[in-house]
Amino acid sequence: MNSTTVPANRVQRFRRLTQAGFFILFLFAPPLDIFRYDLTQSHFLLLGFDLSLGISGEPSDALHVLLYGLLPFITFVVLFMYVAWRWGRLYCGRLCPHFSVVETINRLMRRASGKPSIWEKQPLPTLQPDGHVESPDATYWLPSIVLSIVFAFVWAVGLLTYLLPPFEIYHNLLHADLTRNQFLFITIATILFSIDFLFARHLFCRFGCAVGLFQSLAWMTNRRAMVVSFDAGRAAACKQCNSACDNACPMRLQPRIHKRRMFTCTQCGECISACTQVQQRTGDEQAASLLDWQSGDKVISISSPPMDMYKPAGTKQEGG
């Protein structure tokens, strides 16, 4: 995969489209019976089919459970882990409905305070990779907070529709007639997700998400897996940059360090796109990013250069 052959903004635009599409699928899968578990009937629905195991005590039940229960589940898990083993946390960076919220709130908070998270020690440079200046604007705090709560509510309702008949939930919401348990679930989940989105979204992705953790573990076992590599031979070019790749990373990682210190990398490619834009601002429209995806034997030879080779001159300079 060579990201430098495609304009940086086009790469990220396509990734955001896949994120938006999967977020819509996440919300509409239950009402369309694409996938959900119905607590009222105690069985799964998949693509409109009832996956009730239908256990009746007959000897044939064991084969029924294997074919309609365990085999599809095991097949899905194996395929999912294989993708992670080959390409890393692609699901996180390209599809995950939680990570798309993380990136959205990051962008809003950066507009509000110059920092993508309240835990960031210092504001990021106002000079963006494409050359425009983006100064903090406190008026963005309101949409940051409101949208975090709205996303939390949408997530809470969405999760509940995976467990109870979706149209019953929608009807009860529209008529303000939720049952006690439905009201408690939505209220508590909205509060918890609001705290997550406002204060702990990066921490959850890095340390609290089991799906992300297992993808990372599978990825790290493969020495030839896809990784964001750094062209150490051109490290001097970084001296004229304000660490644009570090600033662009939604997980707050340092993309130029070795793969094994990038355990939670989501393969979103924001660092590659940022570097591409910075290098193209030198005047050469064909200038390649110092960062790119590599896999196979090339990955084995990748080593981490000393940090001072590409540390920008000064601190948080606005150069590009």
One digit per residue, the tens of pLDDT, for the chain of length 320 reads 444 445 667 889 999 999 999 999 999 999 998 888 888 877 777 776 676 655 555 555 556 556 665 777 788 899 999 999 999 999 999 999 999 999 999 999 999 999 999 988 899 999 999 889 999 999 999 999 999 999 999 999 999 999 999 999 999 999 999 999 999 999 999 999 999 999 999 889 988 899 999 999 999 899 889 988 888 888 888 888 899 999 999 998 888 886 666 789 999 999 999 999 998 887 655 567 889 988 877 666 554 444 444 454 433 433 32
Those residues with Cβ within 8 angstroms of residue 22's Cβ, 6 or more apart along the chain or in another chain:
94, 95, 96, 97, 100
Taking only Cα atoms into account, the Rg of the chain, rounded to an integer number of angstroms, comes to 23
pTM of structure:
0.82
DSSP states of the chain as a string?
Answer: --GGGS-HHHHHHHHHHHHHHHHHHHHHTTTTTSEEEETTTTEEEETTEE------S-TTHHHHHIIIIIHHHHHHHHHHHHHHHHHSSHHHHHT-HHHHHHHHHHHHHHHHHS-SSTT-SSPPPSB-TTS-B----GGGHHHHHHHHHHHHHHHHHHHHHTTS-HHHHHHHHHTT---HHHHHHHHHHHHHHHHIIIIIHHHIIIII-HHHHHHHHHHHT-TTS-EEEE-GGGGGGGGGS--HHHHH-TT---TTS-GGG-TT-----HHHHHHHHHHHTTT-TTPPPSEEEE-THHHHT--PPPGGGSPPSSSS----
Q: Specify whether the backbone of 79 is left (phi greater than 0), alpha (psi in -120 to 50) or beta.
A: alpha
Contact between 1 and 79 (Cβ < 8 Å)? no
Q: Which two tokens stand for residue 33?
A: 């019976």
Q: What pLDDT does residue 44 have?
A: 77
**173, 225, 274 from 95: Cα distances, Å:** 28, 19, 21
Distance separating alpha carbons of residues 70 and 60, to the nearest angstrom: 15
